[in-house]
Amino acid sequence: MNEVEGPILPAAPHDAAPSCASGETLRDTILRKLTFDLGKSRAGALDRDWFIATALAVRDRVVEPWLKDMRATYEQGNKQVYYLSLEFLIGRLLRENITNFQLTAEVKDALASLEVDPQKVFASEPDAALGNGGLGRLAACFMESLASLQIPAFGYGIRYDHGLFRQVIRQGWQEEYPENWLEYGNPWEFARPEIAHRIGFGGTVEDVEGEDGEERQVWKPGETVLAVAYDTPIVGWRGKHVNTLRLWSARAADPLQIDAFNRGDHIGALSDRVRAEAISRLLYPSDDSPAGLELRLRQEFFFSSAALQDLIRRHTRVYGSLETLPDRVAIQLNDTHPAIVVAELMRILLDDHGMLWTDAWRVTQATISYTNHTLLPEALETWPVALMERLLPRHMQIIYLINAIHLDAVSAAHPGDMGLLASVSLIEEGHGRRVRMGNLAFVGSHKVNGVSALHSDLLKKTVFRDFNALFPGRITNKTNGITFRRWLQQCNPGLTGLLTDTIGPEFLDKPTALVGLKPLAGDASFQDRFMAVKRKNKEALAALIRREINVRVDPAALFDVQIKRIHEYKRQLLNLLETVALYNEMRAQPHRDYVPRVKIFAGKAAASYHRAKLIIKLAHDIARTVNRDPAIRDRLKVAFLPNYNVSLAEMIVPACDLSEQISTAGMEASGTGNMKLALNGALTIGTMDGANVEIHEHVGNENIFIFGLTTEQVAHRRAEGWKGQDSIDGSERLQQVIEAISSGVFSPDDPERYRDLMQMLRDHDHFLVTADFDSYYDTQRKVAQRWARPADWAQAAILNTANMGWFSSDRTISEYAQEIWQVPVPG
């Protein structure tokens, strides 16, 4: 579809507005923004007002280099990366931008001179919760690393009015409320109303005769929605480069039906607007209903089509022919959400630009690459064929033809192998015909990558086994990473300062320089300083726990942390069973010398995921019982912190002693929380799953606590028809825990509350919680033994930090750039 026209290039730097008035200090700029942009006086300004004024002042410093970098990209003909993600969990940006732009001291001094507390200003910024968890946070880390490595890039996503819901806990139950992150505006973004692409839905496909006499298809949508651009500059480390995160907001082409309004149908007159704007209203609306399912598909096509139209508009204006698209453009699909890009790019090349099929397919495959994030077949998106044919009729024609050509080639190479054809088809024929978006993304990409060594290997052996045989070499590995600027320098300034004083500042630019800590791991003096930083961070978290949920915890205790999305495969339930077992032991044998421990949980369950929400309730019921029991003398506490987001993670991560990474082996693609926590000196307890495998390799077996079944053993147990009762019968301790929870010991108000949940463990236990319980419990006792030897614990914690340099997202992005995108990495 055509766009509402907008400029392709920014004005040259000398045409841009100056970043501040001549000779104006940052203090003066902040005060001017407060007065003339917000209309507030110093006396009447709230912390939130000071945040907005400060953000606008900092943004002024960013604009000129941002415009300069964009123009240089086109003047030099550099290839650009376009990162498409339905989620960007960027969190707060003020601290990140001033850190990366080397303005931290200047901002703090300016605010102090205005008698404003910088910490209150930082805390006033709302989290941009435009993501659900690891997928969205990874996208944010990657955008920061792209800028830090000076790789020209655009991020494309949706500007949700309400991101992931705000979690409120009432009587232990999760309730969901809108997250109003835009309530007071977003000072970081620039509205681009002149950049508005038309996104079509529904309608018909007509055959017409082209100028060359050849018949071609023309899609005539029955509905059009505008995708309006909002740009946020993404500042790289030391301000070396600034990229763009472009988020799309949905608008109705005609926001008001005047005839209906004049007839008195004031609500009906707005129906088109409401329907259109619903697309960017909420992250992950429930897809339990047909209307919800359609909205999810509309969201995915909306931002994917807008991104393609936008980058093609830019490419054709600067470079002309789309034949050269793969030379100037690399499109990375972050999971299957943008997989419709394959069909949409083909449609644009075929229908809008008259390209031949073979040429269009060559350009499409050479331009697109796809990151897979899951080994769960049910998590590889599929869409009902009937819905696709109604909502995107032209795209279904293209998908059918892609599939026909693809299957013809497979059949020619493997005649008569109907099982293979069924496996690699883009259309699933059983139990209702559905389009397999993972398969579409695979065949439409030149490279497909997993996100940890184990995950990529399992991709080849499981969900994409047949594709790997057909296209050997297409699957590659790119182990995830995290940006150390956010997850060390910003969230843990005490540790950053200690490291700088001890090994010098080289690690700030070269994370692998952290290995310089290794000779100091056994040094008693350095251990004391390292653990003193940890203690201060724990005191801050203890204060937050007291403030948020009114639970007192001892900063001297072992802080045992599991922070992540609540999901059965992540096995918060296993952690809770071990908590009950430890509680039972403390009551039965109170004379023993137990290590004081605080079990800290945080995470959100999907609104429609009832079993995950029940696990949250169980955590609160256990916490209520344990925390009030005087018999255990505060040696065990349980704390569930509500509304987990990036900012809360930045408080928990530096304070963690033990990092819980206990997913069922073979289920977690990578994980990045494991990297953040280990970087900040936490020891990991985990299965050999996801990136735990590589963390184990880097930190050494003696500095990590590994337990449980391996991926192969999990597969074997499932193949045997595993039932949890087998493990329960063999473990008296587990029997007692299951019986206590099942009988209502922790839910006296409703003794039946957890009966079905515990029966599920007996009968089915797909995630092998019971199979791993004894191993997990025994390993937790080894954790306690190590904690009881402070010097040994400190040494292991230091070695975790020292060996985490490889897990920088800078390393990950460099590998993408060189091996997938074919983009040079400056320097």
Identify the CA nearest to 450 among candidates 694, 86, 794, 120.
694
CA distances from 798 to 108, 497, 506, 511, 691 (A): 30, 15, 18, 15, 19
φ/ψ of 646, rounded to 5, equals -60, -45
- Structure tokens that stand for 724 in this block: 């949890």
Beta strands 80-84 and 153-158 are parallel
Distance of CA 16 to the CA centre of its chain: 34
C-alpha neighbours within 13 Å on the C-beta side of residue 82: 26
Sort 187 into a burial class: Cβ within 10 Å, 0-12 / 13-18 / 19+. Answer: buried
Q: Which residues contact 453 (CB under 8 A, 6 or more apart)?
A: 477, 479, 693, 694
Taking the CA atoms of 684, 690, 696 and 702 in sequence, report the sign of the dihedral they define. positive
d(CA 194, CA 324): 27
Q: What letter represents residue 25's amino acid?
A: T
DSSP 3-state of 257: coil
Residue in 137, 197, 246, 373 annotated catalytic: 373
**Has 604 been annotated as catalytic?**
no
Q: Where are the beta strands (DSSP E) in 484-628?
A: 558-563, 597-602
Q: Which residues contact 198 (CB under 8 A, 6 or more apart)?
A: 1, 2, 3, 4, 224, 225, 226, 227, 253
Taking the CA atoms of 642, 648, 651 and 653 in sequence, report the sign of the dihedral they define. positive
φ/ψ of 289, rounded to 5, equals -105, 160
**Cβ neighbours of 728 (radius 10 Å):** 21
d(CA 577, CA 602): 17
H or E segment to which residue 254 belongs: none
Residue in 672, 684, 770, 779 annotated catalytic: 672
d(CA 260, CA 664): 56
Residue in 137, 460, 564, 637 annotated catalytic: 564
d(CA 745, CA 751): 7
d(CA 769, CA 744): 20
DSSP 570: G
Residue in 676, 698, 753, 786 annotated catalytic: 676
- Structure tokens that stand for 323 in this block: 């034949």
d(CA 589, CA 594): 10
Backbone conformation region of residue 635, classed left if phi is above 0, alpha if psi is from -120 to 50, else beta: alpha
**Has 676 been annotated as catalytic?**
yes
Residue in 241, 314, 460, 565 annotated catalytic: 565
Q: What letter represents residue 746's amino acid?
A: F
d(CA 316, CA 683): 51
Helical spans, DSSP H, in 24-132: 26-32, 47-75, 94-100, 104-113, 118-123
**Has 406 been annotated as catalytic?**
no
Residues 681, 797 contacting (CB under 8 angstroms): yes
**Has 373 been annotated as catalytic?**
yes
H or E segment to which residue 687 belongs: none
Residue in 137, 251, 570, 637 annotated catalytic: 570
Crossing angle between the packed helical segments 790-802 and 524-549, to the nearest 10 degrees: 90
Q: Which residues are catalytic?
A: 373, 564-565, 570, 672, 676
